[in-house]
Amino acid sequence: MPDFSRCILHSDLNNFYASVEMLRHPELREVPLAVCGSFEDRHGVVLAKNMLAKSAGVKTGEPFFQAKKKCPQLVSVPADFPAYLSVSQAVREIYARFTDRIEPFGIDECWLDVTGSRLLFGTGRQIAERIRLAVKNEIGVTVSVGVSFNKIFAKLGSDMKKPDAVTEITPENYKETAWKLPASDLLYVGNATARKLSVLGIATIGDLALKEEGVLTRELGKWGKLLHDYAAGEDRSPVALAGAGREIKSVGNSLTCYRDLTTEEDVHLLFLLLADSVAARLSEKKLGRAATVKISVTDSELNHFGKQGKPARPTRNAAVIASCAMALFRSVYPWEHPVRAVGIAVCDFAEAEQLTLFGDAEEEDKEDRLDAAVQRMREKYGNRVLQRATVLEDKRLAEMDIKGAHVIHPEGRRGDT
């Protein structure tokens, strides 16, 4: 049974990157606007857009030149992540007026547990409205807030009405409200999972909640039970205290290539670059060897695929990470379309004393010394001073410096913008 005693908010800053740019540049408020990534790397992929651009059909993730064909008046601005982080932090200071349980879900989204705040500030809806108005009046951007009795339904609520709105999913209305929505609207149900659910005759969140757990577990493993619980409103995961759990959980990097990738050789080149970046960050942070490798893949139609697995032994060696990533890629990617972007992350760090269980200590020591020598050369002369021979076959890739790996904390992904 669901736990109806809690009151959870999910706050989602609307069109965040574009909203910040319009805040900084008021002259852009009345024009279709796209915030773009590097034009050198992929002709400026659209990272975010304002409502005028959205109404013209502009989509996040498409190249700017394609978006420009749909909307000839479209104006682009380069992404300025320090500015977005500054605004995000200012908004979180508003959240902190109402609760200390603030769990980020990317730069533009947060969960807030206001269960214990209601005696001071009113009902969950009233708190949500106060937050919405404070963000709008004090910061100048808008936010959509979902109110519910768990994190999953609160997130669902914030997605239901945008921009600048509050939506409540209650113990009384969740079956009429949430259960009628497509199963793909549920958090963590991506395109691939939605297709599997469709084969099982599951079209809505209600269908998923009412499906026999055994069927879901048989077809989807442990993930099937978890999705069933989410759909049924039985998510009991807590909202973390603000600033809690900041230990590094995983390290990763991803890249949208300047061209579509059409062969395994293409993908392998990109994985090698990313694995070098990830291995360098492991060394910098003095983390243990990673026992798990995760990959993410986006195709040219913006379908997303992901898988995780374990190398033969825990590692921080770039070649081993890339090899494991390729094995995962081959097992999950159907090659229905070219590949647009890939990512690698590693986690489950093993301490040095654990490695004796896996043997090959001498081989690991050799790999560590070699990687350390390469890292010292790159730190002294630049990240491109030493490149793998295979990477040098593609001049554009060899010229890319993607050392800007990101460290992933428990808060997880960056949110949709």
Active site residues: 109
Sorted by sequence, the CB contacts under 8 Å of residue 296 that are 6+ apart come out as 254, 304, 305, 306, 341, 342, 343, 345
Residues 61, 95: Cα–Cα separation, whole Å? 30
Residues 191, 305: Cα–Cα separation, whole Å? 8
- Which residues pair with residue 313 across a beta bridge? none
Among candidate residues 213, 85, 237, the one with its CA nearest the CA of residue 154: 237
Q: According to DSSP H, which parts of 122-190 are helical? A: 124-134, 151-160, 174-177
- CA geometry: angle at 190 spanning 185 and 194, to 5°? 75
Q: According to DSSP H, which parts of 103-149 are helical? A: 118-121, 124-134
Give the β-pairing of 143-148 and 166-168: parallel
Residues 378, 375: Cα–Cα separation, whole Å? 5
